[in-house]
Amino acid sequence: MNVSNKIATPDNLFWPQRNSIVSATIIDKAVVLHWNDDQQSTLHPVWLRDNCCCEECLNPVTREHLLDLRDVPLDIRPSSVDIDAEGALVVSWSEGQHRSRYNPDWLHAHSTEARSQRDDQIRQWSATDLSEPPSLDAINGVVTDELLYEALVTILRYGMVRLRGLPTDPAQVETMALRIGPIRETHFNRIFDVISKADSDTLAYTSHHLAAHTDIPTRESPPGIQLLHCRIAEAKGGQSTLTDGFKVAHDIKRQFPAHYKTLISAKWCHANRAGATDYRWSAPIIGLDDRGEPLEVRLLPFSRAPLQADYKDMDSIYAALVCFMDLVNSPDYQISFPLAAGDLIMFDNRRVLHGRSEFYPKTGDRALRGTYIERDDVMSKIREFEQLRSRSS
Ligand code: OGA
Ligand code: ZN
Ligand code: ZN
Give start and end residues of each alpha helix (H) in 181-300.
Answer: 245-255, 257-265
The residue contributing the CA closest to ligand 1 atom 9 is: 204
pLDDT bracket for residue 10 (50, 70, 90): very low
CATH architecture type of domain 3-114: 2-Layer Sandwich (3.30)
Give start and end residues of each alpha helix (H) in the chain.
Answer: 45-50, 104-111, 117-121, 145-158, 172-180, 245-255, 257-265, 311-328, 375-392
The residue contributing the CA closest to ligand 1 atom 6 is: 204
State if residue 300 touches ligand 1 by the CB under 6 angstroms criterion. no
pTM, two decimals, is 0.87
State if residue 204 touches ligand 1 by the CB under 6 angstroms criterion. yes
Q: Where are the domains of the chain?
A: 3-114, 135-384
Nearest to 33 by CA among 75, 91, 74: 91
Contacts of 281 (CB under 8 A, 6+ apart): 217, 218, 219, 220, 269, 270
Burial of 31 (0-12, 13-18, 19+ CB in 10 A): buried
pLDDT bracket for residue 115 (50, 70, 90): very low
Give the SS3 label for residue 253: helix
Q: Is the pLDDT of residue 297 over 50?
A: yes
Atom of ligand 1 nearest to the CA of 370: 5
Q: Cβ atoms within 10 A of the Cβ of 16, count? A: 10
CA of 63 to the centre of ligand 1 (A): 42
State if residue 354 touches ligand 1 by the CB under 6 angstroms criterion. yes
What's the CA gap between 312 and 314, in Å, rounded? 6
Higher pLDDT, 15 or 320: 320
Residues in the chain: 393
Superfamily of domain 135-384: Clavaminate synthase-like (3.60.130.10)
pLDDT > 70: what percent of the chain? Answer: 93
Contacts of 84 (CB under 8 A, 6+ apart): 90, 101
Q: Is the pLDDT of residue 222 over 70?
A: yes
Higher pLDDT, 18 or 302: 302
CA of 203 to the centre of ligand 3 (A): 9
Q: Is the pLDDT of residue 341 over 90?
A: yes
State if residue 194 touches ligand 1 by the CB under 6 angstroms criterion. yes
Burial letters for 180-209: b for 16+ Cβ neighbours within 10 Å, e otherwise?
bbebbebebeebbebbbeeeeeebbbbbee
The residue contributing the CA closest to ligand 1 atom 4 is: 356
Q: Which of 191, 203, 206, 210 to mutate to test the pocket of ligand 1 (most atoms within 8 A of CB)?
A: 210
Higher pLDDT, 113 or 140: 140
Indicate the Cα dihedral angle 181, 187, 192, 197, nearest 10°.
-170
The residue contributing the CA closest to ligand 1 atom 1 is: 204
Atom of ligand 1 nearest to the CA of 240: 8
pLDDT bracket for residue 16 (50, 70, 90): low
> Is the distance from CB of 151 to CB of 136 less than 8 angstroms?
yes
State if residue 240 touches ligand 1 by the CB under 6 angstroms criterion. yes
pLDDT bracket for residue 11 (50, 70, 90): low
Q: Cβ atoms within 10 A of the Cβ of 335, count? A: 20
State if residue 227 touches ligand 1 by the CB under 6 angstroms criterion. no
Contacts of 232 (CB under 8 A, 6+ apart): 168, 341, 364, 365, 366, 367
Helix axes 375-392, 145-158, angle to 10 degrees: 130
Give the SS3 label for residue 279: strand
Nearest to 356 by CA among 207, 205, 236, 239: 239
